[in-house]
Structure 1
């Protein structure tokens, strides 16, 4: 059928909020449609050209950020340190691999999470599960699904994007300042010292290039930064759709890049919405994905097989990736797609009742991903991480011991790599694992 931003409403849907106040929902959607776009079509088209460059093996995607953003933890310092951590990781990986790093944050919109159960029991009382701040609150008395939260998500996303744009254009990404990117709590860490040595090498290289008459500042695209989130709450995503007045086409102006998650891959409504927007699209690929199903999704979401449109995000788990990924790699070799690895979601466990992930399991899946891609003749195009600039203790390994797990456990949903673990991972990836 012909597509509009609202044709998803006629199809079955999974993981959709259950709003009791339908009248207020309609009012919120109307209000959002009148707000300015958060991103612009030209930015989206630039990102698509960069993704096409990744497919050609000339760039590498680093995508990462919070499991679920929080309304209560917004701060300018937090956004600054998040951006600095991304710059550090990009310096480390990019210098070692000798190519551009395409930086995509899970930020400025990642406020909703799918859940396996609609309800949970707390103290003998059955209440709705926490679904992310865009839908309901984590406090026990805020679990009703509230459409007003979409407005707050928009405004926080707008504030976050304004600051990220200021950082990216205002000089923070100046390569001459890379030695100053270190976060306070890793400055005296061996990894921080290793980064400083790398920064010194890069500074010397820059000085040599500039001595040859090359204007680094004029050519520098290092500060470019794009944002992404899971396209989960379609009421919000539809309301943020805008038609490009210059080039035509409908863009979801809530984010540059959106993905379909493991729990909505079988939701006809989500597939229908995603097939019509002009944004590049991610597809989370788990061990239950068959080659036939994946090819069918590609036919739907990118029927003309254009470059820069599709990123396939493998989230297999270290135990299953060796058996599940190769058939999919081979099946998609004739399609214009980029393969990246999400080593987080397939490796979540519980330790003493606390959700966590082992750093070694994360590293094991990444190692296997790179090796399997090489065996199948497919370019390993990037990583998709749940990470934070904060000194949290949520994943075990590196700077966090089993005994230290939970010492600073701040995530609203899934465990994240802290800044030190993220830097260590970047060095390992840069050095070829």
Structure 2
């Protein structure tokens, strides 16, 4: 890595909570000596598998909670079971190995578009995930609390234990949003390479991918496979610059672009982005996130997404790649194994949303909706396999 390890500290870390410094220092020092959550060899193994994704020899299925909650470890098994079911459905269609990656064992922080939110008629600091603050309305509930960083480390450690027992083939991923936490858990191997030990695959969000920002600077220093979310404001030039910063050696499997453009814009925006990156020769994997570009407020006031829009963006993503002759690398979704009512479609209407709306942040697909999406994607991919073999 060419980026100096400490250079991120001299840059703006967007979305960074206003931590009380003394309390943060105590927690960071404690985490710096804590056992790693993942091993370098596991990260390297995932890099090799993602190289296959970029080359069309494998397919990535990534999913899990929008934001994990402390105290919900028992729900991990259901999410793992659903992720593996989706992977099996898609594997049957693509006839290549599927790489299952969970949004779990670390997905406890969320970027927010506004610093405040309205709850029960009151304007409060925004909830930023259990790693930062709480959802309550009482004094101190919304204050950034560094002690939570150690609590989410312990919760992530427990989740990793469940994953090793029930799904050792599933890798752990999360958004590397809180750089103080990530740096404290960075470890150096015998060859002097720095690894984020908090998860196998970390990603930079669309709100923190600034080329001169702290997140890009920090991610450039670690050897893990990494991803970047690309929203509708992303230009091909920005994508190429991100490649130069984050994967200067063009290492297969190192970099994944997770595209979140929205069902109504993907056909307009994606072709030029893919074409110019492909022409550069960079070995990136292209993954569809059909969730984040399709969020809106329901008549009930709940934040929601239509399953039809999610399926439409997924289909458009596949069709654009098919027209360009490039590889459809994978699917990235927010989902849960529980029978929640957060997204409409698949038997859930607007009137059903209050019944089991359990997400503290963004709406997730329930088990039936996620399997319906996986089956629809499998049909699309199966057609591509048939066309290639005819």
User: Under a length normalisation based on structure 2, what TM-score does the superposition of the two structures give?
Assistant: 0.93
Task: List aligned pairs for 1:268-283, cutoff 5 A.
Answer: 268-283=213-228
**Equivalent position SS for 2:41:** helix
**Equivalent residue for 1:18?**
18
**Equivalent runs, 1:14-413 vs 2, <5 Å:** 14-19=14-19, 21-75=20-74, 78-122=75-119, 125-141=122-138, 142-169=141-168, 224-245=169-190, 247-266=191-210, 268-333=213-278, 334-352=281-299, 353-413=301-361
Distance 1:372 1:2 in 2: 34
| Partner-residue secondary structure (3-state), 1:81 | helix
Deviations 1:289-333 (Å, cap 9, x if unpaired)? 111111011000001111010100110001111111111100111
- CA distance in structure 1 between the partners assigned to 2:335 and 2:146 by the alignment: 28
Q: Structure 1 residues 240 and 4 mapped into 2: Cα distance closer, same or farther (>3 Å)?
A: farther
- TM-fit CA distance, 1:72: 3.2
Instruction: Report the more deviating stretch, 259-268 or 232-241.
Output: 259-268
2:50 & 2:120 partners in 1: Cα distance?
48
- Cα offset, 1:13, TM superposition: 1.9
Mapped to 2, the partners of 1:317 and 1:324 lie a distance apart of 10
In 1: Cα distance, 2:316 partner to 2:333 partner: 16
Deviations 1:58-78 (A, max 9, x none): 111000000000013232xx1
Contact 1:359-1:398 within 8 A present in 2 as well: yes
Offset, 1:403 = 2.4
Indicate conservation of the 8 Å contact 1:6/1:238, yes or no: no
Shift of 1:284: 0.6
C-alpha displacement of 1:25: 0.6
| Aligned residues: CA RMSD | 1.4
Q: Deviations over 1:169-210 (max 9, x none)?
A: 5xxxxxxxxxxxxxxxxxxxxxxxxxxxxxxxxxxxxxxxxx
**Distance in 2 separating the partners of 1:390 and 1:121:** 27
CA deviation after TM superposition for structure 1 residue 136, in Å: 0.4
What's the offset of the Cα at 1:392?
0.2
Select between 118-127 and 394-403 the one with higher mean Cα deviation. Answer: 118-127
* The structure with more radius of gyration: 1
- Displacement, 1:402? 2.5
- Unaligned runs of at least 5 residues, structure 1: 170-223
Matched, 1:9 2:3: no
In the alignment, the residues of structure 2 paired with residue 243 and residue 12 of structure 1 have an alpha-carbon distance, to the nearest angstrom, of 25
- For 2:387, the equivalent position in structure 1 comes to none
Is the Cα contact below 8 Å between 1:109 and 1:153 reproduced in 2?
yes
In structure 2, what is the Cα distance between the partners aligned to 1:302 and 1:54?
16
Deviation at 1:100, TM superposition (A): 0.7
CA distance in 2, matches of 1:90, 1:295: 30
Cα 1:2–1:429 change in 2 (3 A) is closer
User: For 2:195 and 2:166, how far apart are their aligned partners in 1?
Assistant: 25
Q: Secondary structure at the match of 1:276?
A: coil
Deviation at 1:81, TM superposition (A): 1.5
The 8 Å contact of residues 5 and 238 in structure 1, kept in 2 or not, is answered as: no
**Per-residue Cα deviation, 1:358-381 (whole angstroms, up to 9, x for no partner):** 000000000000000111121011
Shift of 1:387: 0.3
Please state whether the residue corresponding to 2:173 is helix, strand or coil: strand
Aligned residue-pair number: 375
TM-score of the superposition, structure 1-length normalised? 0.84
Once structures 1 and 2 are overlaid, which stretch shifts more, 95-104 or 2-11?
A: 2-11
Contact 2:2 2:220 in 1 (8 A): no
- How far, CA to CA, are the matches of 1:257 and 1:273 in structure 2? 14
Cα distance in 1 for partners of 2:373, 2:60 equals 14
Mean Cα deviation higher: 79-88 or 272-281:
79-88
Separation in 2, partners of 1:105, 1:55 = 19
